């Protein structure tokens, strides 16, 4: 600690060496760096990610969502323990755009996955406290890159929030798993059709004890529903599985399906195409975020925006023409900024 009571500054080379070596403390500090909203940290975080880029991309990225009560945490905990036993290093990230968590919440996440949290081969991290889904998604992507550079070969991205968070997570992973419960007749209760459409697999949980027959019936209903939907990939038809995390049954077969999906998409070339499309989408999201930030932080631009908004509100200017004028203004400002080509 410095004399002011603040953590000592860490150099870029120290961050790179620490993350590359799998130093957990340095990895945690690097993640905190990229989560920071302070302007002075942004340039260092960007350079860190650029320098670590050759070490990223090797992990199996799996998104996991589930209806309330489906036992998502128990399933992730058991799956993670199984994978570590097979020699994998597993990271779990939680995406929750509604979260108001503080740093102490890390303990809560580890309590939900108690056995997995005890392993040195596991790393569990909640989403950063951010007010927007876009912000959380961006930090999650960057955290994922750091974890891959640190040697974690399986990254499980859990959606904790509702609504668009599932769509965001599906756009940053290789495989999207939806955990469901056997309901009391209406099997689609509590799950949106849109989530089913982006799933690479459905798994009906709690297939144990007296519940097994009901789970098998639910699986048949979901399989029939999937048959009338157009699969996302021409090379993969989403299967429906039944699992019991409590009895550790079906999870090995579930993982085999994830690996099979990866092999099929790699062989067809779709895997690299999808990864590339995700990277471009990430770039576009960052561009939109930076443009929005420039509108909010440039006093001159704020004045021009306010004036255009008044013109539109009063009906003297069409929204389309106002947007065109604003875009032109932003282009001029970008060209005249220091360091512009």
Determine the topology of domain 278-334 in CATH: Helix Hairpins (1.10.287)
Predicted structure pTM score:
0.84
27-36, 51-60, 156-165: the lowest-pLDDT one: 156-165
pLDDT, residue 261, reads 98
Q: In what order do the strands lie in the sheet with 122-125?
A: 122-125, 90-95, 154-159, 60-66, 175-180, 201-204, 240-242
Q: How confident is the model at residue 289 (pLDDT cuts 50, 70, 90)?
A: confident
pLDDT, residue 232, reads 83
Q: How far apart are CA 336 and CA 341, in angstroms?
A: 9
Q: Is 269 helix (H, G, I), strand (E, B) or coil?
A: coil
Contact criterion met (CB below 8 Å) for 97 and 132: yes
Could you read off the pLDDT of 116-134 as tens digits, one per residue?
999 999 999 887 655 566 6
Contact criterion met (CB below 8 Å) for 93 and 35: no
32-36, 142-146, 265-269: the lowest-pLDDT one: 32-36
pLDDT, residue 249, reads 94
In the block, tokens 């023409």 appear at 321
Which CATH architecture group holds 56-268?
3-Layer(aba) Sandwich (3.40)
180: pLDDT strictly greater than 50: yes
Q: How many other CB atoms are there within 10 angstroms of residue 272's CB atom?
A: 12
Q: Find, among 37, 10, 6, 39, the residue nearest to 25 by Cα.
A: 10
- Domain limits of the chain? 11-55, 56-268, 278-334
pLDDT, residue 286, reads 81
In the block, tokens 């875009």 appear at 327
Structure tokens at 227: 């048959």
Could you read off the pLDDT of 211-267 as tens digits, one per residue?
888 888 888 888 887 878 778 889 999 999 999 999 999 999 999 999 999 999 999
106-115, 195-204, 257-266, 299-308: the lowest-pLDDT one: 106-115
Q: Would 11-55 and 56-268 be classified into the same CATH topology?
A: no
Q: Is 281 helix (H, G, I), strand (E, B) or coil?
A: helix
pLDDT, residue 166, reads 86
pLDDT, residue 1, reads 39
pLDDT, residue 163, reads 64
44-53, 101-110, 248-257: the lowest-pLDDT one: 101-110
pLDDT, residue 191, reads 59
284: pLDDT strictly greater than 50: yes
Could you read off the pLDDT of 291-303 as tens digits, one per residue?
777 777 778 888 8
In the block, tokens 């150099």 appear at 11
Work out the percent of the chain whose per-residue pLDDT is above 70.
Answer: 83
Work out the percent of the chain whose per-residue pLDDT is above 90.
Answer: 50
The radius of gyration computed from the CA coordinates of the chain, to the nearest angstrom, equals 23
The hierarchical CATH code for the domain 11-55 is 1.20.5.170
Q: How confident is the model at residue 327 (pLDDT cuts 50, 70, 90)?
A: confident
> How many residues appear in the chain?
341
Structure tokens at 233: 């990939």
Q: How far apart are CA 166 and CA 133, in angstroms?
A: 10
Q: Is 87 helix (H, G, I), strand (E, B) or coil?
A: coil
**Average pLDDT score, the chain:** 84
Q: How far apart are CA 325 and CA 301, in angstroms?
A: 12
Q: How far apart are CA 133 and CA 145, in angstroms?
A: 18
Contact criterion met (CB below 8 Å) for 59 and 147: yes
C-alpha torsion sign, points 171, 177, 178, 179? negative
The angle that helices 12-20 and 24-35 make with each other, rounded to 10 degrees, is: 130
Contact criterion met (CB below 8 Å) for 110 and 75: no
């Amino acid at each position: 600690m410095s004399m002011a009571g603040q953590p000592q500054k860490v150099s870029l080379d120290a961050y790179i060496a620490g993350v590359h070596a799998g130093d957990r403390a340095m990895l945690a500090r690097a993640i905190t760096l990229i989560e920071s909203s302070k302007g002075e940290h942004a340039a260092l975080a960007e350079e860190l990610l650029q320098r670590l880029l050759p070490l990223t991309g090797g992990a199996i990225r799996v998104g996991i969502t589930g209806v309330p009560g489906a036992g998502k945490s128990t399933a992730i905990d058991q799956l993670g323990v199984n994978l570590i036993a097979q020699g994998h290093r597993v990271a779990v990230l939680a995406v929750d755009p509604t979260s108001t968590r503080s740093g102490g919440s890390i303990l809560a996440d580890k309590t939900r996955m108690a056995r997995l949290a005890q392993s040195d081969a596991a790393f569990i991290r909640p989403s950063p406290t951010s007010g927007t889904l876009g912000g959380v998604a961006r930090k999650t992507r960057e955290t994922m890159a750091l974890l891959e550079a640190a040697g974690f070969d399986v990254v499980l991205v859990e959606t904790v929030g509702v609504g668009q968070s599932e769509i965001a997570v599906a756009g940053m992973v290789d495989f999207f798993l939806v955990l469901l419960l056997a309901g009391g007749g209406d099997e689609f209760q509590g799950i949106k059709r849109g989530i089913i459409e982006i799933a690479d697999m459905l798994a009906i949980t709690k297939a144990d004890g007296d519940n097994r027959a009901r789970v098998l019936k639910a699986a048949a209903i979901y399989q029939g529903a999937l048959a009338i939907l157009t699969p996302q990939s021409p090379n993969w038809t989403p299967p429906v599985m039944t699992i019991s995390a409590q009895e550790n049954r079906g999870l090995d077969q579930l993982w085999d399906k994830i690996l099979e999906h990866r092999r099929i998409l790699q062989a067809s070339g779709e895997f690299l195409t999808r990864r590339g499309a995700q990277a471009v989408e990430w770039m576009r999201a960052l561009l939109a975020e930076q443009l929005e930030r420039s509108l909010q932080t440039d006093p001159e631009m704020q004045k021009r925006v306010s004036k255009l908004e008044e013109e539109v509100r009063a009906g003297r200017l069409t929204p389309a023409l106002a947007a065109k004028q604003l875009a032109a203004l932003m282009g001029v400002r970008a060209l005249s900024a220091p360091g512009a080509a």
